[in-house]
Amino acid sequence: MDSLKDKVAIVTGAGQGIGFAIGERFAREGAHVVVAEIQADKAQATTQYFSSLGTEALAIPMDVGEPAQIDMMVKTVVQKFGRIDILVNNAGVSEKADFFEMTPERWDWMQRINQRGVFFCLQTVARQMVAQIPEAVKTAGFADHSYGKIINMSSIAGRHGRADALHYSVSKAAVITITQGAAMALAPYNINVNAICPSVIRTPMWEEIDRIQSETLQIPQGEWYKRRVKRIPLQRGGTVEQIAATVMFLCSEAGDYITGQTYNVDGGSEMN
C-alpha cells in the first residue's frame, strides 16, 4: 500500500503477538515504526528486526498505564520523525477471575492498561495530530482526506459480559465506546478512529488462556483451544496476519471514509 510509505506509526505492545505482526506489516509497507513496548529487551529486538526490513524503527520502552511516559513517548517520536500519522493502541492484559473472587486491585490493574492506557495514549497522540493540521483545515472543519489514523484493539469479549473475566470484558467494552466518542471529537479535524475486535487468534496471550483453561478442566493442553475453535462458525482460529491486514486497510487511503466503527475479525463469532 503506497499510501503507508514513510508514514510514522506508533504501535503499543509491539513486542509480541498481534502488535508484532502489525508493526512488521507496517515496516514491510515502508512506514516508520515506533515500538512502544513495556519489555525493554523485546522493544530493542523488535526494533532491530523491523529496521532490517528497510525502514526506520524506534524503540521506546514504556508503560501505557503511566501518563507521564505517554507524554515522553510522543515528545520522543516528534523529535525523531517530526510528526505522528498513525497510532495503534494494541497494548493490553488479560486474565480469568471468578466473579466472587474479584478484588479492587485486580479490577484496577486491568482498567489501568486496557481502558485508561488506551484513552490517554489516544488523547495525547490526537493532540499532536491536531497540532500538525493546517490552520485552513481546522477552520473549515472538513477535508477530502484523513489527517491521522487511530486504531484501538478491543475484543469480542467487549461485545457482551463474561462471568469468568468480567473486568476484562468491561475494559474491552470501554475501548469500543472510547472509539466512538473519540471519533466524534476528532471528526472536525479529519482524524479517523476505529476499533478491532479479534476472536481466537493464536498469540502468547491465547496460549496462556489455553493453558489455564486446560488445567482447570483437567484436559491436555491444546484441547481447550480446539473446543473453543469448534464454536466459531468458520471452524478455525484467526491469525495475527489477518488482524494486521485489517489495520493496514483502515490506515490506508481506502479507510479515509470510515470512522467510529468497530470491526469484528472473528470468523463469525459475533454477528453485529
pLDDT of residue 220: 86
Q: What is the CATH number of the domain that holds 119?
A: 3.40.50.720
- Residue 61 in any domain: the answer is yes
Judge whether 168 counts as a catalytic residue: yes
Model pTM score: 0.94
The answer to whether residue 14 scores a pLDDT higher than 90 is: yes
Q: Residue range 30-54: average pLDDT?
A: 98
DSSP string, 196-239: EEE-SB-SHHHHHHHHHHHHHHT--TTHHHHHHHHTSTTSS-B-
Q: Residue range 107-135: average pLDDT?
A: 97
The residue from 147, 168, 225, 263 that is catalytic is: 168
Number of domains in the chain: 2
pLDDT of residue 223: 83
pLDDT of residue 1: 63
Q: With residue 177 as reference, give the H or E element that holds it.
A: helix 166-186
Taking the C-alpha atoms of residue 272 and residue 262, their distance in angstroms, rounded to an integer, is 10
Taking the C-alpha atoms of residue 157 and residue 208, their distance in angstroms, rounded to an integer, is 16
- Residue 272 in any domain: the answer is no
- Residue 271 in any domain: the answer is no
Which domain covers residue 50, as residue numbers? 2-201+239-265
One domain, residues 64 and 112 = yes
Contact 48, 31 (CB under 8 A): no
* Average pLDDT score, the chain: 94
Q: Residue range 24-46: average pLDDT?
A: 98
| Region of residue 238 (phi > 0: left; psi between -120 and 50: alpha; otherwise: beta) | beta
139-148, 158-167, 201-210 — which is least confidently predicted?
201-210
3-state secondary structure of 97: coil
Task: Summarize pLDDT for 72-115 with one digit per residue, the tens.
Answer: 999 999 999 999 999 999 999 988 899 999 999 999 999 999 99
pLDDT of residue 206: 73
